[in-house]
Amino acid sequence: MVPSMGFLISWGVVTLSLWAASELLDGMKIEGGFFGHLLTAGVFGLLNVLVGWLLFLVLGFASLGLGFLFAFVTRLVVTAILLKAADALSSKLTVRSFGTALVAALIMSVVSGVSEWVLRALGIG
């Protein structure tokens, strides 16, 4: 697969997961239709690449290593923090509370996991 194709597929999966979360949760809205979702996914993805790994490490060490043991929970918390940061940086995204961001992170995790499983089953991912 062409390297840029992997990037586009990842962006599409994040866009799909953000769309699902915004449709399922009253406290999360993305304005601007399809392009608003693409822009929000871009902002979220950029934050994830720039600071997501750092937040994961900080939370892992700050919890005396338990964050690494319970990596899934730590990843959900990091995703929720990044969603709130994307909310602050983007006029298209509104996340009402940190609790909403945590539930959105869980929805995004499930949708992303299923999407990646389907793509691998189709030989795409």
CA distance 108 to 98: 15
Residue 7 to residue 18: CA distance in whole angstroms = 16
Domain spans, the chain: 10-118
Cα–Cα dist 104/110, whole Å: 10
**Side chain identity at residue 88, one-letter code:** A
Confidence of residue 2 (pLDDT cuts 50, 70, 90): low
Q: What is the mean pLDDT of the chain?
A: 93
> What percent of the chain stands above pLDDT 70?
97
Name residue, tokens 């945590």.
102
Q: In one letter, which amino acid is 72? A: F
pLDDT digit string (tens) for 41-100? 999 999 999 999 999 999 888 888 887 788 889 999 999 999 999 999 999 999 999 999
**Residue 44: count of CB within 10 angstroms of its CB:** 26
pLDDT confidence tier of residue 31, bands split at 50, 70 and 90: very high
- In this prediction the pTM is 0.90
Mean pLDDT along residues 31-50: 95
